[in-house]
Amino acid sequence: MHKKMSNKLFIPLVLGVAVLFALLSVAVPNDYFFSAAYTVLLFIILSTAWNILGGYTGYVNFGTAAFFAMGAYSTVVLYKLTPGMPLLLKIVIGTVVAGLVGLGTGALTLRLRGVFFSIATLALSVVVFTFVVNWDYVGGARGAYVIAPRDVPFGFKRYIHFLYVVMVFLSATAVIIARAIETSTIGRGLEAIRDDELAAECCGVPTLRLKLLSTTLSGALMGMAGTTYPYFVSYVEPASTFNLSYAVNSIAMPLIGGMTTWVGPLLGAVLLGTVQQVVQVTISSAWNLLIVGVLLVLFVTLAPEGLMGLWYGWRKKWKEKGGAK
């Protein structure tokens, strides 16, 4: 067994990296950097969240957009109710709302296995979409404006800088949670469920409870990613909030990075997210989903365990070579 870094060391390390990235908000003069970085960070959270259920537990969720939108629209509602509420509080509430929806979805659908579960999550997305389109208070199909306050908190120069720093720390939170699960007894139980649910239950794993925990956490983190989105776009409408790209990217990124560890979704989101941002500027945003699709096909056929799988494979070969000498 590989010696793993303890969480006592890992958490300060991740937070340290987050602080370094946060400091960029002072150093980088180009505002475009922040909107590009916001999107990449958004995908880090979404793919890390997706991977808790999809990668660790083996339940493929097509409903990322529903949970993401749940977070976004919870902010819209709170903005309408009390515009002055601090963003941090909005984030917490949106996260809890999405987590509860995750718990409910889990309770309703986890008796389904494999592709049937996936179809149910797809249906959830449609249900939530229809609900939002017909809910006048949040603007229905027209959408709603969410205007960032003129006074940027904590003395940031512009609101996007503040949002960027918030997203850096939310991403760090998501990664820390994912890794804590992965290295804990819970992670071992989820892995057992993914490999063989019946055998897991017969080894003492409370499969239903762990699956509910997994859907709740995964949903909550996806919602968390959505809570700041209305301030980022300032105009929220269903078609873009429920965009297919959220579901596709949050599946593609862990798949390309590797689904068994926290590194995979992080790596996949950084690589794929950056490529998409570059393509958007240099060629056209219309290419984004095409690139994701092509990469997805390539990885599924050539490297089904993703970049991390390739890396472990190479390292193993390298070691064997070394041992033979």
Partner 1 sequence: MSDTNELLMVKGVVKRFGGFTALDGVDLNLKAGERLGLIGPNGSGKSTLVNCICGTLFNDEGSVKFEGHEISREPAHKRIRRGLARSFQLPKPFSSMSVAENLCVPILYAANARPGAHHATPAQAYEQAMEILKKVGLAHKGHEMSGGLTQVDMRKLELARAIAAKPKLLISDEAMAGLSNSEVDEILELLFLMKEQGIAVIMIEHIMRAVMRFSERVAVLVAGRKIADGDPEAVMRNPEVERAYLGE
Please say whether the beta carbons of 234 and 223 come within 8 A: no
Read off the amino acid at residue 284. S
Determine which residue in the list 29, 204, 322, 323 makes contact with partner 1, applying CB under 8 A: 204
We find the least distance from the C-beta atom of residue 314 to partner 1, in angstroms, to be 17
Name the residue with tokens 């709603």.
144
Residue 201 binds to partner 1 (criterion: CB under 8 A): yes
Residue 188 binds to partner 1 (criterion: CB under 8 A): yes
Taking CB under 8 A as the binding criterion, the range among 34-42, 135-143, 177-185, 212-220 that sits at the site for partner 1 is 177-185
The partner residues of 145 in beta bridges, in order of sequence, read: 235
Nearest of 143, 171, 147, 169 to residue 159 by alpha carbon: 147
We find the least distance from the C-beta atom of residue 44 to partner 1, in angstroms, to be 24
Q: To 10 degrees, the CA torsion angle through 181, 186, 188, 190? A: -90
Determine which residue in the list 7, 35, 183, 240 makes contact with partner 1, applying CB under 8 A: 183
**CB 20: neighbour CB atoms within 10 A?**
10
Residue 189 binds to partner 1 (criterion: CB under 8 A): yes
Residue 198 binds to partner 1 (criterion: CB under 8 A): yes
Burial class (CB in 10 A: 0-12, 13-18, 19+), 238: buried
The site that binds partner 1 (CB under 8 A) totals a number of residues, namely 23
Please say whether the beta carbons of 265 and 48 come within 8 A: yes
- Our CB check for partner 1 shows the closer of 112 and 208 to be 208
We find the least distance from the C-beta atom of residue 304 to partner 1, in angstroms, to be 12
We find the least distance from the C-beta atom of residue 313 to partner 1, in angstroms, to be 13
Cα–Cα distances (Å) from 239 to 125, 311, 314, in that order, read: 12, 38, 43
Cα–Cα distances (Å) from 234 to 29, 41, 72, 157, in that order, read: 22, 18, 11, 18
Determine which residue in the list 192, 252, 266, 307 makes contact with partner 1, applying CB under 8 A: 192
Residue 199 binds to partner 1 (criterion: CB under 8 A): yes
The C-alpha atoms of residue 230 and residue 7 are separated, in whole angstroms, by 33
206-265 positions binding partner 1, by CB under 8 A: 206-208, 260
Taking CB under 8 A as the binding criterion, the range among 113-121, 158-166, 168-176, 182-190 that sits at the site for partner 1 is 182-190
Taking CB under 8 A as the binding criterion, the range among 40-48, 195-203, 241-249, 279-287 that sits at the site for partner 1 is 195-203
Binding residues for partner 1 (CB under 8 A) = 1, 183-185, 188-189, 191-192, 194-196, 198-208, 260
